[in-house]
Amino acid sequence: MSSTRTAYWRGFRDGAPFVLVVVPFGMLFGVAGTEAGLNIAEVMAMTSLVIAGASQFAALALMQENAPVLIILATALAVNLRMAMYSASLAPHLGPAPLWQRAVAAYFIVDQSYAISVSRFEAEPDMPVREKVGYFFGCMSPVCLPWYFATWAGAVLGAAIPPAFALDFAVPVTFLAIIAPALRTLAHVAAAAVSVTVALALAFLPYNLWLLIAAVAAMMTGARVELWLRARGRWT
């Protein structure tokens, strides 16, 4: 077996446990998407073109409110801006690979495949580029492939669930469930608090502008509090 292949299967094994997270989450998006009024083709197109659950839920929530397209895109893309950070930290490792491989890999940069591979690459910096690429695709396989199937299963299931189950509220509930574990530091908590306060205070503004203002204010708050914590030596 070639070393690239070995690297692929090593990545696959490291990524495999994430199936347990991805499958229910993908199903949830499928259910929420059909409940919101998307048909299966639209749900599947979104899930396979975007493969970024949180931003898909963000877009869905705003589509239900009939927000303007530009606001929906700006908000959902803002949720995905963190992936620029992922792309930057993968660049030194995958950068020397051929362009087509990087173009395919870019599509598969998701939270889990990024987290596993970057920590492996940092632990083993001498791994040849071919193996790093193999490892990356190995990690992403058990994360991304089940995502499509799970969304599809959720969409089919969602169409069969009666409205009495109040699934309209599945979107806010899922968001809360995603955010809670992300409130790791005081800076994250402060950012979230500012986001909520500003959004509610400015809710009268048209075109969901309150959301963009709240997001910018919250990001600046998070960054400020982080600096403040660092200055006091309380940043881990």
Partner 1 sequence: MTMDAATIWLVILGLGAGTYLIRFSFIGIIGDRKLPEWVLRHLRYTPVAVMPGLIAPLVLWPTATGGQTDPARLAAAAATLGLGLLTKNVIAAVLGGMGTLYLVQYALGG
Site for partner 1 in 70-99 (CB under 8 A): 72-73, 75-88, 90-92, 94-95, 99
Q: Please say which residue, 12 or 132, places its beta carbon nearer to partner 1.
A: 132
d(CA 38, CA 55): 16
26 binds partner 1 (CB under 8 A): no
d(CA 27, CA 24): 5
d(CA 104, CA 116): 18
The CA-based angle 19-171-79, given to 5 degrees, is 75
128 binds partner 1 (CB under 8 A): no
Nearest partner of 118 among 33, 127, 236, 162, judged by Cα: 127
Q: At what angle do helices 40-50 and 53-64 cross, to 10 degrees?
A: 140
191 binds partner 1 (CB under 8 A): yes
Among 62, 140, 143, 150, binds partner 1 (CB under 8 A): 62
Considering only the stretches 3-11, 117-125, 143-151, 210-218, report the one whose residues sit in contact with partner 1 under the rule CB under 8 A: 210-218
Q: Please say which residue, 75 or 151, places its beta carbon nearer to partner 1.
A: 75
Among 8, 12, 30, 55, binds partner 1 (CB under 8 A): 55
Among 6, 102, 118, 148, binds partner 1 (CB under 8 A): 102
Question: CB of residue 223 vs partner 1: minimum separation in angstroms?
Answer: 4
Considering only the stretches 23-31, 117-125, 139-147, 151-159, report the one whose residues sit in contact with partner 1 under the rule CB under 8 A: 23-31
Alpha helices in the chain (DSSP H): 3-15, 19-36, 40-50, 53-64, 69-80, 82-94, 99-107, 111-123, 129-158, 170-182, 186-201, 209-231
Binding residues for partner 1, total number by CB under 8 A: 98
209 binds partner 1 (CB under 8 A): no
Among 166, 231, 233, 236, binds partner 1 (CB under 8 A): 166
Q: At what angle do helices 19-36 and 40-50 cross, to 10 degrees?
A: 140
Q: Please say which residue, 1 or 181, places its beta carbon nearer to partner 1.
A: 181
Tracing tokens 């403040």 back to the chain, one arrives at 228
Contacts of 140 (CB under 8 A, 6+ apart): 11, 15, 108, 110, 113
143 binds partner 1 (CB under 8 A): no
Considering only the stretches 3-11, 47-55, 116-124, 146-154, report the one whose residues sit in contact with partner 1 under the rule CB under 8 A: 47-55
